[in-house]
Amino acid sequence: EENMTVTEDFSREENTYQMEAEVCITFSDFGKMQTVCNLLIEKLGTSVTISPPHFFHTPEAIDTLRRQVCVAAVGNTRRKAQEVCRLFGQSLGKPLLIKEEETKEWGGHIDSYLSHSPDSLTLQERIQNATAYASCRVFAVFEMKGKENRRNKLL
């Protein structure tokens, strides 16, 4: 309910009263939004108008995306280092240095109104324009261990 605002307008026309209500809801789940819209249309029929959705990313969601991309980049770097170690008959040790060198973000805020009116875009185009992407470049230094040292420790 904290993600919902309701604006009501009552008016009188001759012997009848008319009420118009605008309900704005912020959803974090696309499926739930579709379910609510379908329910409103099913129950209220033509008396309800559903405006096209406006997609946006909260600062928290973008921050989570940045962290996930950085962690994935470190994981990819570690896996590549392990493959190189295997190639030379070594084993990968602990990380000595991990540094995030560059993070890029794009999408999620494309100004589509330059070529189209926002209302003329299809739902798929709206989703595509609102999709956020991120990449991260990391630098990592790992300790290398010889396999014979590992075998001796196990004995």
List, in sequence order, the alpha helices (H) in the chain: 30-44, 59-87, 123-130, 147-154
Instruction: Check if the beta carbon of residue 106 is closer than 8 Å to that of residue 74.
Output: no
Going by pLDDT thresholds of 50, 70 and 90, the confidence category of residue 148 is low
Region 79-106 average pLDDT:
95
Going by pLDDT thresholds of 50, 70 and 90, the confidence category of residue 155 is very low
Strand partners for 5: 24
pLDDT in tens, 5-40: 889 999 988 889 988 888 898 888 888 988 988 998
Distance CA(50)–CA(123), nearest Å, equals: 13
* Reported pTM: 0.66
Region 31-56 average pLDDT:
88
Q: Domains plus CATH for the chain?
A: 4-44 (no CATH), 59-145 (3.30.110)
Mean of the per-residue pLDDT values of the chain: 85
Q: What is the pLDDT of residue 50?
A: 87
Instruction: Check if the beta carbon of residue 40 is closer than 8 Å to that of residue 115.
Output: no
